[in-house]
Structure 1
């Protein structure tokens, strides 16, 4: 049996939040990893994820098919993690998550590589959200080009470098008042390390070909419960002010141009109107983390390991029992 070192896995979007965890997981399993990113000079921090020479970073942009084809040369497995939360210039949802996904899938088909594609729970061609609509279009294009592709749809992901728990913790540190949008919307936060394990399992051949998996954590929580958990971990006590969707969308027309943690787009408000949880159909079919034999870590177990930095006295702050 050939060793994993003879298997070349090309990861598109390997320098992002999920990407760095996937690269680390693949390196632990001794795969050769080629990371395809728009700015390779900014991805040097990925090198220590593996042994000397195990990780190779190349340039590729999903909007340029020739660069994707070049990055895929001699690949055995292709993983597409590229996705954006907000649009900027030519990096639109459609260009990146629909047409970009199609470009990767067609190039993978051309070299006969297996394909793992990461989408999102909520991907829906009928969704009023342009993000969710583009994710669904990407899935359809992937399966049209590579019917044997494995698709993963994670719920909202958390972990040390996330733009979710860190964002609310940062806002709570800066403001005595925290607007609560979609307080009753249900989520199933999933630890990024568990999603990376699932993807590495798929590379190992443990996932079903042509199947769509939905990945959620062990708990279904409302948006209010998630934010309250973050506030408890960080020992912050801002006042939570529920914001109706109409007013939130109005504010988002201005906040979409705001920097960092204050940024909020109208499309994100639309996404918050719909629950983001693993479907009963996926559970029944075993197309979940549990179905892959992965025991999911909870927000409560993982988040304190990195959110302590938002406490007034950091890691040394005494917490009430």
Structure 2
């Protein structure tokens, strides 16, 4: 299909929509709303969903250390100032959950000298190809058939279930948890394309593994809607202006994070493992020793 990016509008990526060629900066989210630590680097110029996961309180009244774990959208559009900020943060590892097709379409991460990306692709179950093809067709009937009538939201729920059921996805999430327990690999940043789905599930799992209450971890997941709202609205406007979609609002379920998407993953956890703790241990390989190291490294009293 013709490149949407080449048309100067947007590129559609599994796990979210990416504005191109100009990123739209999201309005800052106040620290009180986010619940976590904010810093001047929380909104890099080339990202819209960069966050420090530090600052959250656990059920035992410990606190997630700031400056050790960063969740973000893709880092392929970082500016020179962003590179300096990442270097100042001391990031030692960047884990990229994007598929090879996403990286090929958007470009590899642009990182400070000496910092190499750790490619850890997580499958999108064919969503990238299906939705891209529908948009590229410029056919409103085809787009309605793919995304309308609740099908966009159902696509997302199916995707979230694969985060739990797919062996490759479990391996990627588990390996990242083990990296986070390794002092030689932190500070660490992990991301997908929009920093909301694969990244959102990874963040939720990490916070829960550290003992952060479920409601707090869920609210962190949902914050992506606030960080991404301006960029996502701009994407829809660009698609309509470029003649790709008559009804770009069909994309809203793909662009957003929703509580029922997270619930779909958690339902799959219950079906496959019974409890989240057993999923972390049997599904992701987070043994007691690694969990202890994770909490020792990332929590402070």
TM value normalised by structure 2: 0.31
Relative contact order, CA 8 A, sep 6+: which one is greater? 2
* Greater strand content: 1
* Greater helix content: 2
Larger radius of gyration: 1
